Structure 1
């Protein structure tokens, strides 16, 4: 049965001098344990919706599998404490007791459980040259995003990661309390559908931290646009792997931090 990621709770609302009782919709946040071939690898705090997409995206962006076809099946088990996601990935190379991320991961953290510095920063392969975005594509995507944020419209508490066409049409959205989880869910859904990631761009309702750049670039996304700011390390990584990184996406304005050649109205910029 699909999980909505929503929960109702009793609330007391004060408005002026009046008090009233009611109910409110809240975003669910639960421990999600990822297991590979029966062995625990990570526990992340996530919204328990679209967990199959999360399993695929997390597995690919964390390097647990090389391609979506390496995953033979995903089983989700709801338990009293949270959710267990069993990924059948055949022979997963490099997974041992020392590399397992058994520490709980917070919903806002992309590093929780990493045990070695080399697990955190590693060289990124150059992303493909495409796509070339049409003028005002980022604006169109931003304007068209809100109607697709169904979970956030009811709770006001979750991030979104959206896939858009070069013209700025929103094609797919995934949501989660954690920005990294939302991006993993989106990338997982796109990969499961066989989408050519050279044919569009990603828009996220968060800052562009280096983890977001790493996840997007690892699957060949050429353009990552963020509503908030990037970090200095995110810009450095984007420059090194030839990813176009934009931040502060607003109506009529955005800031390009690396490789503007994929934006048709900025293609001649340095």
Structure 2
């Protein structure tokens, strides 16, 4: 019976096969393994080169370009930098957001983005809506954002407070702004405004006010114990302080209609 030196035939266990194999098979596998390892090494080196080249490849891509204008999708309305726009909210039940366009740009795929500065409604501010805030009042915030131009629904006009009060008719797209708003702190600029009436409230352009013919101050009818209907029928009006003075002087004062209207417009907007 032929014997075999145990050392001449080594036994190995293959992790993949799970059973012993002879040294001759092992040698073949070693050669294939070395070749396979070399291929893996080359592949790894190739991938390393590709990864290292990515930054330079990214730099060669076409960049963004500034646009002079953008035509709102489905309309012929043209938006330019400085225009105020209505932007579609994610919740269809909410009012559209109002923003001022600061920049219009397109990428290499012609996707148009707009950099905007948001207007806040009083109810969106930290302090919330107050009695003197008008229905169409907005605050110009320090909150900037970049949005897709496709979210623009339409254009609007944000008037100065003085210009808004002179409008003969206020349309759906008319708004006004008299404050700048710091979104992070809730602060306003200016932080002081003129107040009127006995209630000492800032002027709300939505509310009717009557002017005293003597002191030239303005008052809410309700603060003077009148209804709006009664106030509209007044030909002359003296506030409670002025009426308690000399009644004789009040009876001889004569005013034409036109100067009263002229004075009312100017006086109501005069800061105190």
* Shorter-chain TM-score range: under 0.3
State the TM-score, normalized to the length of structure 2.
0.20
**Which is greater in Rg?**
2
**Larger RCO (alpha carbons 8 Å, 6+ apart):** 1
Larger proportion of strand: 1
